Amino acid sequence: MRVRARVRVRALMADPTAARFRRATGRYATGIAVITTRADGVDHAMTANSFTSVSLDPLLALVCVERDSRFHSAVIAAGMWAVSFLPEGQEATARWFATRGRPLDGQFEGVPTRRAGNGCLVLTDGLAALELRTDQVVPAGDHDILIGAATQVHDPQEPGDPLIYFASTFRNLG
């Protein structure tokens, strides 16, 4: 029988700050996704760990997008987006699409993609992908929560483990 050590949460009675909040929420492991959209004939992308499924009836999912990012303007204008879940070994892709100010022209060079039915790109090396239509935009601090209705589901082609993010570090499950 395997015994697990318990981790105690110290009671820190301090006022919350952005740094403390970020450090605490960074202790929650998340998957990594690349969110894409296409506005005015230009493809846009961002890396997100703030994606989650919301509902099975109807099929809804959400992502949080920083309001002052250029991706925000594009995805709001387009009303459509796609989510590709990254497998382990795709840290470079995650970092690239998280880079602020990277050039839009040629940003997908070297990243295998295909055009989805909704016009957005999906990463062909992803674990799975979804196509979504924006259903609601909910303001939340310096971000907007985009809630999307799933219009297509791209099932996984091959089994694989996800790239995860924990304590401000990309990690593999293994």
**107-116 pLDDT tens trace:** 999 999 999 9
Average pLDDT (23-51) is 94
pLDDT at 12: 52
Query: Is the predicted pLDDT of residue 6 greater than 80, yes or no?
Result: no
pLDDT at 26: 83
Average pLDDT (111-129) is 96
> Cβ contacts of residue 82 below 8 Å, gap of 6+?
35, 36, 37, 116, 118, 120, 121, 122, 129, 130, 131, 132
Q: What is the pTM of this model?
A: 0.88
Residue predicted with more confidence, 96 or 155: 96
Interval 13-33: pLDDT, tens: 567 888 888 888 888 899 999
Average pLDDT (37-46) is 97
Spatial separation of the C-alpha atoms in residues 39 and 99, rounded to whole Å: 19
Interval 163-174: pLDDT, tens: 999 998 999 887
Q: How confident is the model at residue 7 (pLDDT cuts 50, 70, 90)?
A: low
Q: How many CB atoms lie within 10 A of CB 173?
A: 10
Q: Which among 60, 61, 64, 27 is positioned nearest to 47, based on CA atoms?
A: 64
Query: Is the predicted pLDDT of residue 63 greater than 60, yes or no?
Result: yes
Mean pLDDT of all residues in the chain? Answer: 91
Spatial separation of the C-alpha atoms in residues 45 and 125, rounded to whole Å: 15
Find out whether the peptide bond into 58 is cis, omega within 30 degrees of 0: yes
